[in-house]
Structure 1
Amino acid sequence: MEKSDQFSIDKFYYQEISALTEAGGWSVDFKNKTSHFDHQARVILDVPKDYVPTLRSGYTFYAEEHLDRATEFFFGCAEGKPFSTEIKMQTYNGEIFWAIAKGKPLRDESGEIIGIRGVFRKIDEQKKREQQLEQSLKLIEGHNSRLYDFAHIISHNLRSQVSNLQMSSALMDRSTLTEDQIELVNNFEKIGNSLDVTLQHLNKIVSVHNISNTKLEPVVIKDVYDRVVAGLNQDIRASRAVMYTEFSEVEEVMYIEAYLESILQNLITNALRYKHPDRDPEITVFTYEENGKKYLMVRDNGLGIDLEKHGKDLFKLYKTFHGNKNALGLGLFLTHNEVQAMGGDITVESKVDKGSKFIVTLQ
């Protein structure tokens, strides 16, 4: 194959790839003091057919607010520093668009820089979607912040009223009351106690939002586990639970310690509370690393959960699944929120009468 034929083939492939990726190419020759736009660059920039680019006119294709950045990148590249950046450009007719631009110096055989060659690709739609997403996230954050502030205010303002209601009903002399009046007072007392529990739950939920701004610190997982198990020691002994642990693969994690303690507390407490009546509980807690991510797993041999029936409600507030009168439906809800507040995720595998396995993505 002759060189001219090979050149034609290479040129064809280059043009097809350029059109397919919608990337335009440009170059600057310092020795001959010339500039060049390839076909795709001319299409993107919408230049006239007879337009001849020059060193001086090249700057006119950058938006005014990014002109200084473009100049800095160009002169840096002329000194041997390649660049890759997102930058605002503009067409020949002044239409602004976002582009990803890359450039690198061209050298001769002696290593002297004789020019610059670069490519750019229009990412206007992608950038608009990113900006819309960012605005949506800010809007959601604002709504969430106001919601938690409102919850905090409600909790604070109701606390004293609930306390007064409980105290008044407790101090009332029932010996002078009729049966109907006693029933009414008892109902008031139940209402006060119920409101008090609800406020406690609300405070816990609000605390998830407040603590999420805490600075992350190295947390030794075994130390937190030991503290949780010490607090649950009586329940563990009463249920004759056997605990298995292994933290050697991931011993430490950057986390909010209070969150990790709460997560372990809730998952281990659930494993004890929903033990199978025909066998002693066996609870396994261990950490591992996979594909660059760190995980915490808590597995039990308890009652298990019917995920087909309850899977969609598993982490919702006040949802319970075993008919336990003492169940509040708060633990998994808080655990889910704490894990998500740390940027992680929690998944569950479970079979009825076999047990459950919760996997928390730590980092």
Structure 2
Amino acid sequence: MNLSRLSLKGKKNATVEKNAASTSDYFSMDNFYYKQISELTGAGGWSVDFKNKKSFFDEQARNILNVPKDYKPTLNTGFNFYAEEHMDKATALFFDCAQGKSFSTHVKMRTYDGEIFWAKASGRPLRDNDKEIIGIRGVFQNIHEEKLREEQLEQSFRLIQGHNSRLYDFAHIISHNLRSQVGNLQMSAALFDSSNLSADQNELLQNFTKIGKSLDVTLRHLNKIVSVHSVASKTRDKVVIQDVYNRVVAGLLQTIRENKVVMYTDFSEVEEIPYIEAYLESILQNLITNAIRYKHPDRDPEISLYTYEENGKVHLLVKDNGLGIDLKKHGEELFKIYKTFHGNDDALGLGLFLTRNEVEAMGGEINVESKVGKGSKFIVTLD
């Protein structure tokens, strides 16, 4: 450029050119630092221009998404880089951002060739001088390994927490589950004279023997539980539900007779299930004992037990015609430890707590329907 020939206008133009050069240099440096930060953090950038209807991926974004060199992103195809289960979430965040709401979230994304990965993503609206939103700019970072480690740590924590809880509650399981059977043993022992057995006493002796065997099986199962490190599928044995029920009823036979309980069962739809036998025995015993304890004073207790399969899940239904419970008032407390609701002297508030603990340890759930004065229905999802 010949500076001697510049007029005032030329000087002005020269100043403009100088300023333009300075601006260009500024953006050059800005891009340099942007690229360095992008490479150091592994974050990819993207933008959408609403006015010109264009989308842009920077080099790091292209590397993360593994797109071809000649790939040109568009607004429509951009959503293809989100995992199907997070597509609705990503779409909602994008359109909220287009309305002026920035976002920062963890979301599942997918590469050009379909590999799913966790990403930390953020975006903010771009505005012109008139404050009108003209586009969106965002960044995302592959955090898949970090997310997997986080999930593994959470799983380990839950596992350890579950083990500690079950070990802590083991003493409660011993005292509660053996309470009815030990009581029956003492009652039976007091009712016969071994030196002079009558026919009735001989029947009681047989009952005593059955209870003793049931107690022995329960003790062995509980000893097995305490030695188990985890409730995994490999620890589950095929359990015949009728056999477990028969053993529970044998242990509660005296109580059932004294309270004139009528029992109905139908395990024909699902006869056996892979389960920890001691847990199933405890679940049945607790629910049956609970139904007897809270019987209605004006009628003989009736307890129905059924198994059925629904939506690929095995369910155990235990229904009674007892006192029932006000779920609106006590529903939140029903399965908590040491919570009782009817003022019974023999109630400890352990049965339903232990039942839920055992059911959930096996990956199932327990729900209840009840009407005051009508009775209760417990639905246990076993598998």
**TM-score when scaled to structure 1?**
0.52
Query: Are 1:136 and 2:154 an aligned pair?
Result: yes
- Summarize deviations over 1:26-77 as a string: whole Å, max 9, x none: xxxxxxxxxxxxx989854279999479xxxxxxxxxxxxxxxxxxxxxxxx
TM-superposed CA distance for 1:120, in Å, is 2.2
TM-superposed CA distance for 1:310, in Å, is 1.1
| Whole-angstrom CA distance in 1 between matches of 2:66 and 2:360 | 53
- Summarize deviations over 1:139-186 as a string: whole Å, max 9, x none: 233345456667889xxxxxxxxxxxxxxxxxxxxxxxxxxxxxxxxx
Match of 2:342, SS state, is coil
Query: Are 1:234 and 2:254 an aligned pair?
Result: yes
Matches within 5 A, 1:83-122: 119-121=113-115
Match of 1:321, SS state, is coil
Aligned match for 2:265, one of 232, 245, 249: 245
TM-superposed CA distance for 1:239, in Å, is 1.4
The answer for the alignment partner of 1:315 in structure 2 is 335
Query: Are 1:263 and 2:257 an aligned pair?
Result: no
Aligned residue identity for 1:340: E
Aligned residue identity for 2:160: G
- Summarize deviations over 1:74-98 as a string: whole Å, max 9, x none: xxxxxxxxxxxxxxxxxxxxxxx99
The answer for the alignment partner of 1:344 in structure 2 is 364
The answer for the alignment partner of 2:308 in structure 1 is 288
The answer for the alignment partner of 1:277 in structure 2 is 297
User: Residues 322, 45 of structure 1: CA spacing in aligned structure 2 closer, same or farther, 3 A cutoff?
Assistant: same
User: Residues 329, 217 of structure 1: CA spacing in aligned structure 2 closer, same or farther, 3 A cutoff?
Assistant: same
Matches within 5 A, 1:164-179: none
Aligned residue identity for 1:136: E
The answer for the alignment partner of 2:379 in structure 1 is 359
Q: Does the aligned pair in 2 maintain the 1:212–1:342 contact within 8 Å?
A: no
Matches within 5 A, 1:75-224: 119-121=113-115, 123-125=117-119, 127=144, 128-145=146-163, 210-211=227-228, 213=230, 215-224=235-244
Q: Does the aligned pair in 1 maintain the 2:167–2:226 contact within 8 Å?
A: no
User: Residues 131, 219 of structure 1: CA spacing in aligned structure 2 closer, same or farther, 3 A cutoff?
Assistant: same
CA-based RMSD: 3.8
Q: Does the aligned pair in 2 maintain the 1:267–1:298 contact within 8 Å?
A: yes
| Whole-angstrom CA distance in 2 between matches of 1:47 and 1:304 | 58
Aligned residues with identical type, % of pairs: 53
TM-superposed CA distance for 1:303, in Å, is 0.3
The answer for the alignment partner of 2:325 in structure 1 is 305
For structure 1, the residue ranges without an aligned partner over 5 or more in a row are 1-21, 23-38, 54-96, 102-117, 154-203
Q: How many residues align?
A: 217
Aligned residue identity for 2:351: G
Aligned match for 2:354, one of 311, 334, 348: 334
| Whole-angstrom CA distance in 2 between matches of 1:219 and 1:270 | 23
Match of 2:249, SS state, is helix
Q: Which has the larger radius of gyration?
A: 2
For structure 2, the residue ranges without an aligned partner over 5 or more in a row are 1-45, 47-55, 72-106, 120-142, 172-220
Match of 1:139, SS state, is helix
Q: Does the aligned pair in 2 maintain the 1:205–1:334 contact within 8 Å?
A: no
| Whole-angstrom CA distance in 2 between matches of 1:323 and 1:233 | 24
**TM-score when scaled to structure 2?**
0.49
| Whole-angstrom CA distance in 1 between matches of 2:264 and 2:249 | 12
| Whole-angstrom CA distance in 2 between matches of 1:151 and 1:49 | 55
- Summarize deviations over 1:188-211 as a string: whole Å, max 9, x none: xxxxxxxxxxxxxxxx99986655
| Whole-angstrom CA distance in 2 between matches of 1:52 and 1:286 | 63
| Whole-angstrom CA distance in 2 between matches of 1:261 and 1:312 | 25
Match of 2:376, SS state, is strand
| Whole-angstrom CA distance in 1 between matches of 2:65 and 2:230 | 51
| Whole-angstrom CA distance in 2 between matches of 1:228 and 1:129 | 46
